[in-house]
Amino acid sequence: MACESWKAQLDTYLDGELPENDMQALEAHVRNCPSCAAEVLARVQMKRAVQMAGKRFTPSAEFRKRMQHNMTPRTRPAFASVLLRPRWVVAAAAAMVAIVGLTLGYVAAGIGREQVARNQIYSEIADLHVSTLASSAPVDVISTDRHTVKPWFQGRIPFAFNLPELPSTKFSLQGGRMTYLDQTPGAQLIYDAGKHHISVFIFQQRSLPARLDENSLSPKNLPFNLQTWSQGGLRYFVIGDASAADIDGLAQLFKAAA
């Protein structure tokens, strides 16, 4: 029962919408509660699955028309005719206006549409990182050798990139996998720094759903340390629960390699 109040906030936590103090308190709880940690992983995986399914299947106009026809009752009770009158449409429209009003409220508060889109990218990057680590097969190519991992991506993604040399560093390459950000194909590399796992995501800058620049700071309440930059037409994200210094150290190695 002690965890019920925490679990009630998990969806808001994963969306990064909790106040900063509540975010830190819940994060500390999750780190020490196996039950809530498992619940977080399950919800992240479900969130990603729903998101990917929604982008993979787009019903045709013919399918929509057929479904609407099948769902229309052949004989309507007297009260049904009342529900289907224009007042029902007006009520639905009013609900939509209320939702739009909330969105405009965010804009009025200084959170513009572009910033919302950027924050969505950071949220998806965090989801991808957690989902990968929770997977039974976190990488498609398992190797600590960059000369094995880099060629594996050739022909699988529409760009090439360089991987840094790691001798005399605290980082070790574990492998890589293909990934997608809003249907944009990219590469995900997994590195270890001590007991911490770090993901490096690489995408084509021009293919991302929102424009990012060097002033596009990640949300302060993101539950991971993150660095992002653009170099050579590619957008890099380095994210993990390692220290900010370790995230920066791996980022610097990638910048030098590129």
* CATH code, domain carrying 148: 3.30.200.100
Does residue 97 sit within a domain?
no
Q: φ and ψ at 141, to 5 degrees? A: -120, 120
Domain presence at residue 72: no
Final residue belonging to a domain, choices 52, 69, 89 = 52
Q: What pLDDT is stored for residue 4 in this prediction?
A: 78
- pLDDT value, residue 245: 95
Q: What is the pLDDT of residue 88?
A: 35
Question: Distance from CA of residue 230 to its chain's centroid?
Answer: 19
| φ, ψ of residue 56 in degrees (nearest 5) | -80, -35
Domain boundary (52, 75, 90) is at: 52
**What is the structure's pLDDT at 65?**
66
Q: Which pLDDT value is given to residue 202? A: 97
Residue 229 lies in a domain: yes
Q: Is residue 110 part of a domain?
A: no
Q: What domain range is 34 assigned to?
A: 4-52
Ranges of residues in the chain with a pLDDT under 70 are: 1-2, 15-16, 31, 41, 45, 47-61, 63-65, 67-115, 210, 213-221
Instruction: Answer yes or no: is 76 within a domain.
Output: no
pLDDT the model gives residue 106:
43
What local confidence, expressed as pLDDT, does residue 216 receive?
52
Question: Which pLDDT value is given to residue 5?
Answer: 77
Q: Are residues 147 and 248 in the same domain?
A: yes
Q: Assess if residue 248 is contained within a domain.
A: yes
Residue 89's pLDDT is what? Answer: 40
In this structure, is residue 164 part of a structural domain? yes
Residue 33, in any domain of the structure? yes
SS (H, E, C) 36-71: HHHHHHHHHHHHHHHHHHHHHCCCCHHHHHHHHHHH
What are the structure tokens assigned to 172, written together? 């070790």
As for how many domains the chain has, the answer is: 2
